[in-house]
Amino acid sequence: MSLPAHFHVDRAVNALKWPAAFGSMLVLMPAFATLVEAVKPFWLNHNRGIAFLAGAALFALPVLLRRRIPSLGFWATFEHEMTHILFALLTLHPVRSIQATDGNGGVMSYSGSGNWLVTISPYFFPTVPLVAGIIAMLLPSSLRPFGIAAVGFSLAWHLAATLRETHPGQTDLQKVGFPFALAFLPGITLLCLGFVLALAYRGAYGPEWFWLRLSSNFAKALPW
């Protein structure tokens, strides 16, 4: 009897765990430089910059007034579990179930033993902001500011939710190991955030622009 496809995918992904961490550390500074370049056009284009800030302010203002991050409830948990599911499907795992609650966490299950990428995915991958960025990309130019406002709100929401979920008691981080998480998460998080912002501002040209700028910044960072 042949082994299921996800078994072979898991072996390959797990073998790449520390190479992926090393690669993320290598691109940390180029990714930061590219993120700064992705942010800059928002401040040069007042309409889009104000739209982005307005969206972020819809989430940030209550946080500033209360001086604490509010409980993000069911939807933050649901996004967390859906990101697990997304990466489980991308690595060919049949998903069995999902459960999300308001205040008591969530859980999802899938066939197979899994891999580190499924486990750690919610801590770097901005699922909702990416969807908002795609929607912004598809909107006509006259409506693009509304899409950008949605990106601003969803990014603020995502960052707040991820901040609350990232702590020593988090079982996902315990499972992959804190040394690995510290090595892998900063670089890959900056990459994902920069990509979403490039997509939201530049539309269909955003991905190409992002990878060209990242490649250029990486080349500049090389010591030779």
**Whether pLDDT at 67 is above 60:** no
Half-sphere exposure of 102 (CA within 13 A, CB side): 4
Tokens of 13: 């992904």
pLDDT digits (tens, 9 = 90+) for 158-184: 998 888 888 888 899 999 999 999 999
* Reported pTM: 0.89
Q: What is the pLDDT of residue 129?
A: 94
> For 121-133, what is each residue's pLDDT tens digit?
999 999 999 999 9
Greatest Cα pair distance in the chain: 62
Q: What's the rounded mean pLDDT across residues 11-30?
A: 97
Question: Exposed e or buried b for every residue in 117-140, given b needs 16+ CB within 10 A?
Answer: bbbbbbbbbbbbbbebbebbbeee
Nearest to 124 by CA among 172, 185, 176, 165: 185
For residue 96, the SS3 value is strand
